[in-house]
Chain A
Amino acid sequence: DAKTTQPPSMDCAEGRAANLPCNHSTISGNEYVYWYRQIHSQGPQYIIHGLKNNETNEMASLIITEDRKSSTLILPHATLRDTAVYYCIVRVYSNSGYALNFGKGTSLLVTP
């Protein structure tokens, strides 16, 4: 799987949009971008994934650049409960199962 680079930490004011960047310059054509987050003392939580088109769900939006070398996870209206470590991962998508390797992620602090 391609390696990802994320800033170690970010701050965001409550109610504002949180934009979390991720670089994956060595991504292959068949690799998807996945985002997870881990709130303290809990298991990681799946957020969203995409291949090349922008994706949106009830939790977040994922913006992938046209060359697919970077992406941004957007939490449109951050709340205090969004404080967590956010992981960006690239992996091959398959129903036969492929490894999901976590890096160090970005620690997001949402402040009042």
Chain B
Amino acid sequence: DAGVIQSPRHEVTEMGQEVTLRCKPISGHNSLFWYRQTMMRGLELLIYFNNNVPIDDSGMPEDRFSAKMPNASFSTLKIQPSEPRDSAVYFCASGTEAFFGQGTRLTVV
């Protein structure tokens, strides 16, 4: 099993651009989580899905953020338009015990 796969590993974009982060969960896992980590705020839960349905998106910071899970093997987190304060490491995790991917380091300049 390859584990949770996130892409890209690194992303540098200009302010105002759209950014899409991708996640492939572990096969058979019903739960999927998106987290954001910064030095100031630590690990923040943004949203989680169960059986492809968003259960709790109260952690999504604002309307510029959106997440989808069109099927059991794929999820996206989109930021449009991006801002410098969105710079962080974004993690995806799957399964009841939340197995994490390696993260996407996003830098918005």
Q: Which of A69-112 contact B (CB under 8 A)?
A: 87, 93-97, 99-104
Shortest CB–CB separation between residue B69 and chain A, in angstroms?
A: 12
Nearest B-chain residue to A100, judged by Cβ: B98
Complex contact B30–A102 (CB within 8 A): no
Complex contact A93–B102 (CB within 8 A): no
How many chain A residues touch B (CB < 8 A): the figure is 21
- Alpha-carbon distance between A65 and B100 when the two chains are bound, in angstroms: 29
Complex contact A93–B96 (CB within 8 A): yes
Complex contact B48–A102 (CB within 8 A): no
Task: Please tell me which stretch of B49-57, B60-68, B71-79 contacts chain A, meaning at least 4 of its Cβ atoms lie within 8 angstroms of it.
Answer: B49-57
A-B contact count (CB 8 A): 51
Choice from B31, B42, B50, B103 contacting A43 with Cβ under 8 Å: B103
A28 lies within 8 A of chain B by Cβ: no
Q: Is the interface of A mostly helix, strand, loop or mixed?
A: loop
- Alpha-carbon distance between A34 and B4 when the two chains are bound, in angstroms: 20
Max chain B C-beta neighbours (<10 A), residue from A42, A43, A87:
A43
Choice from B4, B33, B102, B103 contacting A100 with Cβ under 8 Å: B33
A45 lies within 8 A of chain B by Cβ: yes
Max chain A C-beta neighbours (<10 A), residue from B43, B48, B50, B102:
B43
8 interchain residue pairs of minimum CB distance:
A43-B100, A97-B50, A97-B31, A102-B43, A46-B97, A44-B100, A43-B91, A100-B98
Chain A residues engaging chain B, CB cutoff 8 angstroms:
34, 36, 38, 42-46, 49, 87, 93-97, 99-104
